[in-house]
Amino acid sequence: MSFLKKHAATARVAAVIALGAVSFTACATNSYVDEKVAAANSRIDQVDARVTAASQRAETANGAAASAASSANQANTTAQAAATDARTANQRLDQLSGRVDAMEKAPAKKPRG
């Protein structure tokens, strides 16, 4: 008989033991997996909280920017109205300047009496 036939049973047992040892050390335990999943979930929760906070700050900043834009538009409208009023006042002043100059050049009237 050959050596392999004589020791086939022993070789099978040794192979099963070796395979069992390799597969046993390669398997993760439930507690190990739970720890790793819990750590990943904790990190995800932290990142989610930071994203939520950043989103809220962005929305607040957007609202402030919209308010500032509205105020700037109102200020622009007011400034344009003031410029129009100033032009009108200058035109009226130009019209009156000629009259005032004429009055200043006119000879003084002597009182009657």
pLDDT exceeds 60 at position 26:
no
Q: Over range 65-77, report the average pLDDT.
A: 96
pLDDT value of position 4: 59
Instruction: Report CA torsion sign: 91, 93, 94, 96.
Output: positive
Average pLDDT, the chain: 85
Residue of 69 and 25 predicted with greater confidence: 69
Whole-model pTM over 0.75: no
b/e per residue 61-97 (b: at least 16 CB within 10 A): eeeeeeeeeeeeeeeeeeeeeeeeeeeeeeeeeeeee
- For 8-65, the DSSP string reads HHHHHHHHHHHHHHHHHHHSPPHHHHHHHHHHHHHHHHHHHHHHHHHHHHHHHHHHHH
27: closest CA among 39, 37, 19? 19
